[in-house]
Every structure is written in structure tokens, then in C-alpha cells.
Amino acid sequence: MLKSSLSVFFISVNLSVATDKITYDDHIFPIFESKCLNCHNPDKKKGDLDLSTYTGTMAGSSGGKIALSGDGGSSKLFTVTVQTEEPVMPPEGDKIAKKDAELIRTWIDGGLLENKGSKAKKRPKPAFTLGSIPTGKRPEGPPPMPQDLLLEPVVTPTRSTVVADMDASPWAPLIAITGQRQILLYHSDTFELIGVLPFPKGNPETISFHPSGKYLIAGGGIGGKSGTTVTWDITNGREMMTMGNEFDSVLAADLRADLGGIALGGPSRLIKLWDTQEGEQIKSIKKHTDWVTALAYSPDGVLLATGGRGSGVQIWEAASGNEFHSLRGHQKAIVDIKWRADSNLVATASEDGTIRFWDMNQGKEVKRGTASGGGILALDYARNGKLISSTRDGRVQLWKADLTLEKQSQPFPEMITEVAFSHDGARYFTADWNGKIEVWNTLDFKKIGELSTTPPSVENRIISISQDMNAIEADVVLHREKNTTADIALKGALAAADKASAELSVLKKESSNFQQEFDSLAKKWEQLEQMVSKKVKDRDQITQKIKETIQQKIKTEQEHLKSTAEKQKLERERIAADRTLIAAAQDTANKREASSRDPENIETKNLLIVAEQIEDLARQVTQRYTGKLATLNKLIATQATSIESLITEIPELNARTEQLTTEHQQLITQRAKAAEEKDINLAKMKATQSKILRIEKQVQLLKKTAQDQEKILIAAQKELTNTMDKRSKFAERLKKWKTAAVNTRLIETRLELASIDKDDPAVASKIVELQRKCDDLALKYQAAKK
């Protein structure tokens, strides 16, 4: 018979006083009549639900059954009544009284009695859906992931122990790891613990995900004493069924694809097949000569492969248990069996150091890979066809789909006893002899994380996270102070830089004004310089003219003197000529008188002619001298006039020279003053430019200081942001674990409630108290989750 160890979510609890039976006729119908029959009667049947009769109530609505015997808390009749599930009932008006809602739940938990003479209805078997699971294809909808599972470890050992088995969900980022009396579920991307599945019947030795990824089966027990398998729905942690009643620990177990069967094996050397619907063992197969250490259903659920410490591998028809193939080739114990997704090929790994591919159509070996470093300890198959294995020399080896070696790791410090791919094959997990679990990147074999086989208790997590939160809060205060200090320093640096920049702007404006004034003074000085030069040139010209005039005067005077001397000479010569003329005239007169006296005297006539000629010549000479004297007198007069003019001009020129000298001195004075003003302006401009250079350096330094302060502020803001983010993450973690603590108390209370004999009148009050506690914790849990 099925020996189910159902989880707390499926446990029925009778909340009524043990001596009273809650029945439809006596207790439930009056509630329906008062609150429900206006809508749910034979005439209306809203939602295709008739609550006016027991039969109608049991028939349910268009959505299915509304009450499951023994499961009042989860039955829709109760959840819509207490309005924790849509559609709430009644849809309008006041809720059904709490005592009436509790009466409905107690009636369901008590077996849905129609009247006092009725027998309680049996609790339905696990609601598995039979049918083939598409192989190699992802099931529709989001991949199954745990939600609100127990996070309190069953055992919190002080040190890690060897991991018996690991397996990853085929579709979701989820990996299951065996621990002491529990299965640990980790998120394979974030490495967070997201569920604990208690295994109270001992230690789990083997685990395997169903092809859908929704169910997980574990086999184990107490060595030499007992063994069993447990199957969970990993989405809610519900224990679906417990099967197997061994006298030794179960070492290998698997759940068939159609959920209709379970196979298990162990030290008994027997392979036992169980029917999940009937909860009974249907076959025991004796074929292996030693312990059965590995078995696996094909993904399509048609075949079952088994192996053990003997070297043989057997293939069976999954449903009937009839032998299908006997595979011979390995020389030592079989350590692992993995199926390819299409179910046409199975891979086996052995301590003989080989991995072998077997074709299921022919039942023959089609490929073999030999590992280095001795026997193989573990094997896993990725959905992309690649395999990963571990060897006795501590290496991990990655194999291509054709079983050629692609890559291998350096030897680990300890032997790797288990390996597993993540759901997408992008990562692989290793567990060594000391229970150390590490996560690696498949592409480059680089380590990316670790998982713990000894997670702390929820309480210790809360204490640890609270301590971390206190430290983080102190860091937040510190970083806020740093942020404030950096902000003040930045504002101060910016203000100083702005002030210096403003001062620099003023100085540059002053410098520009000085430059303009300097340019104006320089231009004025240039003009004065030109004027001085012109005055000097003019004075020099006048001086030269004076010099030339004086020289001309002297020359003229000399010429005048010369002319005067020449005149005197001419006058003397003229006087002499006059005398000669007078003498000649006298002689001529005498000769003429003599000729007159002797007209016929030829000699006298000739002498007269000569005398006349001499007189005429003397007269000509006298006339010539007279003309020369006239010309010379005229020249002398002109020279005298010129001398007089030059004598008059020289004082004027001297006066002009003195004027030009005065003007020159004035211009020199003006030029000197302009030069002084220019030098003063230049000195001011140089001083201003020097100050500008100093202020520019100061501005650059202040801007650099502001940039540095800005970097400090940005770093402080980043630190504060990071710390705030860290605080948020830790707050979320603290919330998660505080929620887990409430959930743990809720589960413990429900377990305690489930353990009480509901037919014992002595514990009726305790049942009510525990149920109230469950309700309170359920409300707290829902509030904590928000």
C-alpha cells in the first residue's frame, strides 16, 4: 500500500470539537441557505454551482471541485468564503462570519460528511497528470521554480560533508543538492538558497529532476536499516508521495516521464518498480550481481537503464520491467547513467575510466571515450549534447557531443565526487570529497561562485544580516557625512574659483584699459617725437639758412669790396684815361690849330689825323671806363642792397631759431612727460598683468581643486549609492529571511497540528488554539511577503 508522508500543505486537521461531527445537513446547509442560495440554487446555478443539495455541492462548479476532503485550508469553497481568493463570496455585502467559515473548513477537513450516519470521504491521491512529456522540447509556460518554500535547514552541521548527488532542473536556473536529512535548492544564477526539502527518513543518496522540471525525486535512508523515496512538487515544496520500504538506503531512484512509475535500487541488488497511482510495488527485478548504484528512465519514459557495482548495464521496458537490452563492455562498477534528450542514446560512466554511448535501437556500443587519470566518479549530460565528467585524479573533463575530449581542468586539491551542468549548459557545478561545491564557467573553466552544503539557520541568518545592516547603517551615516563634507568643500572651491575668476575678469578689463591708455600715450609720444624731430629739423634748416645767409653776406661783402676796389682802379684808370683824353684833345686841338695855320702841311695834317685818332681812341677808352664804372656802380649798389637785406634777415632768422629752440624745448618737455606717463602706465599694466598671471594660476589651482572635490563628491555619492543599494539588498534579504522565519513557524505549527489525534476529546481546545495560531501566522506570512 501507498505509504505517503504528505507535507503540511496536504495535512487535514479536524478543528471541531472531537465529540461533534460536522455535517452538511446539520451545519453547512444552514450557512448556505443564509448566505449563498440566492445565487447558487437549481434555478440560477451561478457559475454552474448548486449549493442547495449535498450532491450539487460535491459536483462542484464550472471550474471543478470546490472541496477536497481533508484539505479545507486549500479548498476553493473555503478560500473564496474567507476572501483570500477570487472571486470572493459573497460578492456583495458582509463576509461570512468567521465561526461559519471555520465550520466550513472543519467540515471539509473532517471528510465532507453529508449527515451523522455518513462516512468520511477518502482523501484524493496525488493529482498527477499522466501522459507523455515532450522530449527535447521545453514545456509550455514559464519553467517551474520554487515559490515560498521552507528555508529553515533541517540540520545545520558545523562542517561540510560529502555531497551524495547533485542534479539541475532541465529548464530553470535551479540545482538540487543532497545534504544531511535534506535537499537544498539553489538558484543556479544568483547562488541563493531558495528552498529546503526535508528528508526525515535519513540521508538522501540520489536525486533526479523529472523531465518537466516540476518534480524532484530523492532516494535515501539509513544505511543497513531503512530506505525510501520522496517526490516533491518543487514549485510549492509539497511532498507528493513517499514510496519504497527498503531495509537499506536507496542508492538510485527515478520518476518516469508520465509520472506513473518510480524505479529504485540499492544494496539489495534488486530493481523495484512502483505504481504511483496505486501506491504499490508492482515488480522486483533481480539481475544485478552487486549493489544497484545508478538508474535512469529515458526522457520519453519508454525505457529504464540500470547499473551497479557490477560492470553490467541493463535496459528495461519502463512500464512492464521486461528486459530490453543487456549491455556488456564496462570492466568495473557503473557510477552514472545519463540519457540523451531524444531517448535514442544512453551514456554510461564507469570506474574503468570509460564513457560509453549505447544505441537503443541496436543495443550496441557506438562510441567510447577514455578519461585520463583513472576511473570516472561522476557524469552529466547537457541538453546541447555535451558531457562533463570527473576522474579519480581530481580533474574535470568536458566532452563534445561525439565524445571527443574538448577540454580538461587542472587537478583539484580533492577528488571531485559529483558534477552537474546548469539548465542551459553555460555553467557546471563540482562537489569535492570535503563537500565543497564550486560553480564554473563552461566556456573558459573559470570559477564564478560557491554553494554551501551547510547553510545557517534562518535565525542565524537574521542575526547575521541584522548585524550587517547595523554596520551598513553606520556606513550610510559615514558616507552621508563624507558626501556632505565633499559637497561643502566643492561648493567652497567653486565659490573661491568664481571669486578669483571675477577678480581676474576685473583685472583683465583694467589691463585692457591700461593697454588702451598705454597705446594712446605711446601714440602721443610718437607724435611728440615726430614733432620734436621736425622742430629740430626746422631749427637745423634755419640755422643752416643763417649760416648760408652769413656766408652769402660775407661773400657779397667780399664781392662788394672787390667791386669797390675794382671801381677805384677803374676810376683811377678812367682818370688816367680822362687825362689821356684831355691830353689827346689838347694835342688834337694843338694839331688842328697848327693845321689851321698850315693847312697844306701834310705832316701837320697827318699829325692832326693821328691826334684825332688818338683823341677818338682816348674818348672810346674813356667811354668804356665810364660804362664799366656805371655797371660796376650798379653792381656795387646791388651788393650793398643785398648786404643790407642779409643784415636784416639774419636777426629774423636768429629770432626764428630762438623760437624753434623754445618750441623744441617745450616739445621735449611734453615728450618727457608723455614718456613718464607711458612708463607709469606701462608699470601699472605690467603689475596688472603680473597679478593676472598670479590670479590665473590661482584660478587654475582653484578649478583643479574644484575638479578634485567634484571627483571626491562623485566618489562619495557613488559610495553612498552603493551603500544604499547594499542596504536595500540586505533589507530585502532581511525581509526574505524574516518572512522565512514566519513561514517556518507556520509550518512547524501545522506539523504540530497534524500530529494531534483529532478524535481525542482531550486535545480539542489545543486543536482550536493551534488552528488560530496557524491563521495568525498565515496572515503574518502574507503580510510579510508584501
Look at residue 711 and tell me if it is in a domain.
no
Q: Which of the pair, 567 or 287, is modelled with greater confidence?
A: 287
Residue 250 has pLDDT above 90, yes or no: yes
Q: What is the pLDDT of residues 198-219, one digit of tens each?
A: 999 999 999 999 999 999 999 9
pLDDT grade, residue 130 (50/70/90)? very low
Characterize 680-708 residue by residue with b for buried, 16 or more Cβ atoms within 10 angstroms of its Cβ, and e for exposed. ebbebbeebbeebeebeebbeebbebbee
Q: How far, in Å, CA of 22 to CA of 528, rounded?
A: 129
Residue 124 has pLDDT above 70, yes or no: no
Q: Answer yes or no: do 112 and 200 share one domain.
A: no
Name the strands in the sheet holding 280-286, side by side, starting at the edge strand that comes first in the sequence: 252-255, 261-265, 270-275, 280-286
The CATH number of the domain holding residue 518 is 1.10.287.950
The strand ranges marked E within 45-198 are 166-168, 174-179, 182-187, 193-198
DSSP per-residue codes, 175-227: EEEEETTEEEEEETTT--EEEEEE-TTSEEEEEEE-TTSSEEEEEEEETTTEE
Q: What is the arithmetic mean of pLDDT over 770-781?
A: 87
- Cβ neighbours for 321, distance < 8 A, ≥ 6 positions apart: 271, 273, 282, 283, 285, 304
pLDDT grade, residue 599 (50/70/90)? confident
- Return the DSSP state at 361: T
Q: Answer yes or no: do 102 and 248 share one domain.
A: no
Q: How far is CA 314 from the centre of its chain?
A: 54
Under a CB-based contact definition with an 8 Å cutoff, are residues 725 and 472 in contact?
no
- Average pLDDT taken over every residue of the chain: 86
Q: How far, in Å, CA of 508 to CA of 501, rounded?
A: 10
Q: How far, in Å, CA of 688 to CA of 138, rounded?
A: 81
Q: How far, in Å, CA of 50 to CA of 59, rounded?
A: 8
Under a CB-based contact definition with an 8 Å cutoff, are residues 234 and 215 in contact?
yes
The pLDDT of residue 9 is 33
Amino acid of residue 248? D
State the cell numbers at 186: 539553489
Q: Answer yes or no: do 117 and 167 share one domain.
A: no
The pLDDT of residue 11 is 33
**351 closest CA partner among 313, 378, 327, 325:** 378
Look at residue 140 and tell me if it is in a domain.
no
Amino acid of residue 62? S
Look at residue 235 and tell me if it is in a domain.
yes
Q: What is the arithmetic mean of pLDDT over 733-743?
A: 89
pLDDT grade, residue 786 (50/70/90)? confident
pLDDT grade, residue 376 (50/70/90)? very high
Look at residue 266 and tell me if it is in a domain.
yes
pLDDT grade, residue 122 (50/70/90)? low
Q: What is the arithmetic mean of pLDDT over 62-69?
A: 82
State the cell numbers at 146: 520554487
- Cβ neighbours for 426, distance < 8 A, ≥ 6 positions apart: 441, 442, 443
Residue 304 has pLDDT above 80, yes or no: yes
Q: Which of 629, 664, 681 is the last residue of a domain?
A: 681
Q: What is the pLDDT of residues 640-682, one digit of tens each?
A: 787 777 778 778 778 877 887 888 788 888 888 888 888 898 8
Under a CB-based contact definition with an 8 Å cutoff, are residues 266 and 282 in contact?
no
Q: What is the pLDDT of residues 160-209, one digit of tens each?
A: 888 999 999 999 999 999 999 999 999 999 999 999 999 999 999 999 99
Characterize 487-499 residue by residue with b for buried, 16 or more Cβ atoms within 10 angstroms of its Cβ, and e for exposed. bebbeebbebbee
- Return the DSSP state at 245: E
Q: How far, in Å, CA of 675 to CA of 687, rounded?
A: 18
pLDDT grade, residue 8 (50/70/90)? very low
pLDDT grade, residue 449 (50/70/90)? very high
Residue 226 has pLDDT above 90, yes or no: yes
Q: How far, in Å, CA of 215 to CA of 234, rounded?
A: 6
What angle is formed at CA 319 by the lines to CA 286 and CA 264, rounded to 5 degrees?
A: 45
Least trusted range by pLDDT, from 266-280, 346-360, 481-495, 652-666? 652-666
**240 closest CA partner among 269, 218, 268:** 218
Choose from 58-67, 469-478, 582-591 the range with maximum mean pLDDT. Answer: 469-478
How many folded domains does the chain comprise? 3
- Cβ neighbours for 166, distance < 8 A, ≥ 6 positions apart: 175, 176, 177, 178, 207, 418, 419, 420, 429, 431, 437
State the cell numbers at 92: 456583495
The pLDDT of residue 272 is 96
Q: Which of 286, 317, 349 is the last residue of a domain?
A: 286
**296 closest CA partner among 207, 226, 229:** 207
- Return the DSSP state at 23: B
The pLDDT of residue 10 is 33
Under a CB-based contact definition with an 8 Å cutoff, are residues 666 and 659 in contact?
no
Q: Answer yes or no: do 517 and 582 share one domain.
A: yes
pLDDT more than 90, % of the chain? 46
Under a CB-based contact definition with an 8 Å cutoff, are residues 368 and 356 in contact?
yes
Residue 459 has pLDDT above 50, yes or no: yes
What is the largest distance, in Å, between two alpha-carbon atoms of the chain? 231
Q: Tell which phi-psi region holds residue 270, choosing left (phi > 0), alpha (psi between -120 and 50) or beta.
A: beta
Q: Answer yes or no: do 150 and 278 share one domain.
A: yes
Q: Answer yes or no: do 112 and 227 share one domain.
A: no
Q: What is the arithmetic mean of pLDDT over 269-283?
A: 93
State the cell numbers at 684: 601699472
Under a CB-based contact definition with an 8 Å cutoff, are residues 709 and 490 in contact?
yes
Amino acid of residue 276? T
Q: What is the arithmetic mean of pLDDT over 462-477?
A: 92
Q: Answer yes or no: do 189 and 105 share one domain.
A: no
Q: Which of 268, 286, 304 is the last residue of a domain?
A: 286
Q: Answer yes or no: do 13 and 96 share one domain.
A: yes
* Residue recorded with cell 536499516: 225
* Angle between helical axes of 602-755 and 458-597 (0-180°, round to 10): 180
Q: Which of the pair, 524 or 74, is modelled with greater confidence?
A: 524
The CATH number of the domain holding residue 211 is 2.130.10.10
Choose from 210-219, 311-320, 773-782 the range with maximum mean pLDDT. Answer: 210-219
pTM: 0.64
SS3 content of the chain, % helix, strand, coil (to 5): 45, 20, 35
Domain that holds residue 50: 8-124+756-785
Look at residue 209 and tell me if it is in a domain.
yes
Please name the helix (run of DSSP H) or strand (run of DSSP E) that holds residue 542, with its range, or none. helix 458-597
Look at residue 187 and tell me if it is in a domain.
yes
> Three-state SS across 518-530?
HHHHHHHHHHHHH
pLDDT more than 70, % of the chain? 95
Under a CB-based contact definition with an 8 Å cutoff, are residues 43 and 51 in contact?
no
Q: Which of the pair, 255 or 691, is modelled with greater confidence?
A: 255
Q: How far, in Å, CA of 16 to CA of 753, rounded?
A: 13
Look at residue 589 and tell me if it is in a domain.
yes
Q: Answer yes or no: do 35 and 77 share one domain.
A: yes
Q: What is the arithmetic mean of pLDDT over 393-405?
A: 93
Least trusted range by pLDDT, from 44-53, 496-505, 567-576, 671-680? 567-576
**77 closest CA partner among 772, 93, 54, 94:** 54
Q: Answer yes or no: do 71 and 161 share one domain.
A: no
Q: What is the pLDDT of residues 741-750, one digit of tens each?
A: 998 888 888 8
The pLDDT of residue 166 is 97
Long-range contacts of 517-525 (CB under 8 A, 24+ apart): 517/681, 518/678, 518/681, 518/682, 518/685, 521/674, 521/677, 521/678, 521/681, 522/678, 524/674, 525/671, 525/674, 525/675, 525/678
Under a CB-based contact definition with an 8 Å cutoff, are residues 304 and 296 in contact?
yes
Q: Answer yes or no: do 168 and 115 share one domain.
A: no
Q: Answer yes or no: do 641 and 585 share one domain.
A: yes
From residue 11, how far is each of 105, 238, 778 by CA, in Å? 13, 11, 15
Q: How far, in Å, CA of 551 to CA of 563, rounded?
A: 18
Look at residue 741 and tell me if it is in a domain.
no
Q: How far, in Å, CA of 452 to CA of 733, rounded?
A: 17
CA R_g for the chain: 66
Q: Which of the pair, 304 or 517, is modelled with greater confidence?
A: 304
The pLDDT of residue 3 is 30
